[in-house]
Amino acid sequence: MQAMILRRPGTPLEWMELPDPVPGPGEIRVKVSACGVCRTDLHVIDGELPGGKLPIIPGHEIVGRIDALGEGVSGLAIGQRVGIPWLGHTCGTCFYCLGGAENLCDRPLFTGYTRHGGYATAAIADARYAFPLGEIGDDVALAPLLCAGLIGWRSLVMAGEGKRLGLYGFGAAAHIVAQVAKWQGRRIFAFTQKDDRETQDFARSLGAEWAGGSEDNPPEVLDAAIIYAPVGAVVPLALKAVRKGGRVVCAGIHMSTIPAFSYDLLWEERQLVSVANLTRQDGLDFLDLAPRIGVKTRTTVYKLRDANRALADLREGRFDGAAVLVP
């Protein structure tokens, strides 16, 4: 197999030829056909997330077909198309797993972070954490759903049922969530970097009725806001934009330092919450709903060997939507 490998944080990924991996008990091997490039991959590569495995093959928005089954795997078959997400394994025995919150497991494994991921021609996965994808839809178009879509869905649920929804940072996750929220009958207000007219136009094309810079005041007070930008300075801006009793959801796995802000912004029962990972039920719910809604992803395709260029383009915001690697 071929793979792009991270040896040390802060260094470019290296192209390597490796032996084909063999699935162990309860595992599957997937021939990768597409793997999305997520902002979390940047956090892994930049060393902003502690406790990762090195060397590591990044990538956790994997679409491919099973070409080998480990001992004891049932319910999946050779040739079946599956998706492999960020959550790669949970212990099943800790307080959180037993309480239905496996996304907070004390002893988890994460694809592309603590177990090898999909920047490769093949990947091993715990069979219990692979989602059957059926045969509807293109591999490249489906890949961003495996994280941008899933975390976007979980953050949307956590935002509550308010109709006026602000989305701060209009990238891979927001461009999916906007479509779901619009289908639900919500009104979308998109916040981007200042004067980023192209992204603001993109947001409007997906149903946002207003788009502006993160520091701009929306034309109406918001019921809720979701922050996808990894920028802590956005938090007080979002709190200022939501109504009394409104909720601000921080949806990223990493964020720069949140600056001090006046208690007045939090008072009147405004809520500030975070999203951590996802559960398998989140995946089942969203992947069932997405085709019924008709979610469309905008993708920019890169060859696997060009993973470093894709990551650089993501960092600099050189495309709208999501980047996807193909072997």
For residue 130, which amino acid is it? A
Long-range contacts of 185-193 (CB under 8 A, 24+ apart): 186/162, 187/163, 189/164, 189/165, 189/218, 189/219, 189/220, 189/222, 190/166, 191/166, 191/167, 191/216, 191/218, 191/234, 193/317
**168 and 245 both lie in a single domain:** yes
Asked if 233 and 315 sit in the same domain, the reply is no
157 shares its domain with 269: yes
Residue 66 φ then ψ, to 5°: -65, 130
Instruction: Determine, yes or no, domain membership for 176.
Output: yes
Q: Domain residues for 95?
A: 2-135+297-326
Per the domain annotation, does 318 fall within a domain?
Answer: yes
Q: List the structure tokens of 256.
A: 């720069």
Q: Of 123, 169, 130, which Cα lies nearest the Cα of 146?
A: 130
Q: Domain holding 99: CATH number?
A: 3.90.180.10
Can you give the pLDDT at residue 51?
Answer: 87
pLDDT of 195 reads 86
Q: Give the chain's domain count.
A: 2
Q: What is the pLDDT of residue 34?
A: 98
Residue 35 shares a structural domain with residue 121 = yes
Indicate if 269 and 220 belong to the same structural domain.
yes
**Digitized pLDDT (tens) for each residue of the chain, 327 residues in all:** 999 999 999 999 999 999 999 999 999 999 999 999 999 999 999 999 988 999 999 999 999 999 999 999 999 999 999 999 999 999 999 999 999 999 999 999 999 999 999 999 999 999 999 999 999 999 999 999 999 999 999 999 999 999 999 999 999 999 999 999 999 999 999 999 988 999 999 999 999 999 999 999 999 999 999 999 999 999 999 999 999 999 999 999 999 999 999 999 999 999 999 999 999 999 999 999 999 999 999 999 999 999 999 999 999 999 999 999 999
- How confident is the model at residue 39, as a pLDDT? 94
Domain annotation covers residue 252: yes
